[in-house]
Amino acid sequence: MERSLITLKMLQDRLGAQFSNIRLLEQALTHKSVNPHAQNRGEIHNERLEFLGDSVFDLALSDLLMFEFPNNTEGDLTKKRASLVNESSLSDLACNLGIDQILRVGKSERDILQNPRILASALEAVIGALYLDQGFQVAYITVAKLFSERMQLLQNAQFDTDYKTRLQEIIQKSHQAVPEYALVGATGPEHQKTFEVEVKIKGQPLARSSGKSKKQAEQNAAQKALETL
């Protein structure tokens, strides 16, 4: 028990927020695999908190993006938000906080701690729990702190359109690999060809797109891959 309490305290220190009701944080860090029939006996896991945290993330980041990019269209803001809250980004933040070390899972399910979706969901649950415990203002400040570095990157206009760089950073962190681009086709006359490129990760296709040059086709494929992560 002592080790658990110390670990939870470390997580709160990293978040920069302290819980009044520590049971909410414990619930957020409990995956349903601990007991698949938990709800039938009145026990709890983190799925409801994940549902809430997802909305807290969306509202907080929408507000931050509206402030940071006053001239962006709705479409531009939507794309920026999607690049911030995709599965790979959230799982990376979860690992930085140490959630992968203290998330409770079933004894036979330890391998799911390497699953980006599970870790991303756990982070959403933690933010949902923080919202219930401390209110939106504290949750907002915490989200802003978590995404401060990524928000600074979005300020860089070149990074905003360099989808290949953004995709590579995410894939390197989540899969310890780099995206691979392959030309799969070219159509049209020599002076006006359209190139089609496919991007893969460890041999598995992520997305395919086209462009008037190979470089543009690669950027378009990377952009499409980012939207699906």
Question: Residue 141 sits in a domain of what CATH number?
Answer: 1.10.1520.10
Catalytic entry in 92, 124, 133, 218:
124
Catalytic entry in 54, 92, 196, 198:
54
- Read off the pLDDT band of 94 (50, 70, 90): very high
Burial of residue 35, with CB atoms counted within 10 A of its CB: 0-12 exposed, 13-18 middle, 19 or more buried: middle
Does 132 share its domain with 197?
no
- The CATH number linked to 176 is 3.30.160.20
Does 167 share its domain with 140?
no
Beta bridge partners of 185: 196
Report whether pLDDT(4) > 80: no
What does DSSP assign to residue 70?
A: T
Q: Which two tokens stand for residue 154?
A: 């979005």
What is the value of pTM for the model shown? 0.68
Does 171 share its domain with 151?
no
pLDDT digits (tens, 9 = 90+) for 120-129: 999 999 999 9
The DSSP secondary structure of 20-58, one letter per residue, reads SSHHHHHHHTB-GGG-TTGGGGT---SHHHHHHHHHHHH
Does 117 share its domain with 187?
no
Report whether pLDDT(130) > 50: yes
Does 123 share its domain with 101?
yes
- Are 209 and 197 a contacting pair, CB within 8 Å? yes
Does 151 share its domain with 207?
no
Does 45 share its domain with 151?
yes
Q: Which of 98, 129, 156 is the last residue of a domain?
A: 156
Does 99 share its domain with 181?
no
The whole domain housing 223 covers: 162-228
The single-letter code of the amino acid at 144 is A
Please indicate whether residue 54 is annotated as part of the active site.
yes
3-state class (DSSP) for residue 19? coil
Does 67 share its domain with 151?
yes
Q: Which of 107, 136, 156 is the last residue of a domain?
A: 156
Q: Which of 70-84, 93-107, 160-174, 175-189 is predicted least confidently?
A: 160-174
- Read off the pLDDT band of 160 (50, 70, 90): low
Q: Which of 108, 125, 156 is the last residue of a domain?
A: 156
Does 35 share its domain with 122?
yes
Q: Which two tokens stand for residue 5?
A: 């309490």
Report, as an integer, the average pLDDT of 211-215.
Answer: 87
Total number of domains constituting the chain: 2
Does 213 share its domain with 146?
no
More confident residue, 12 or 82: 12
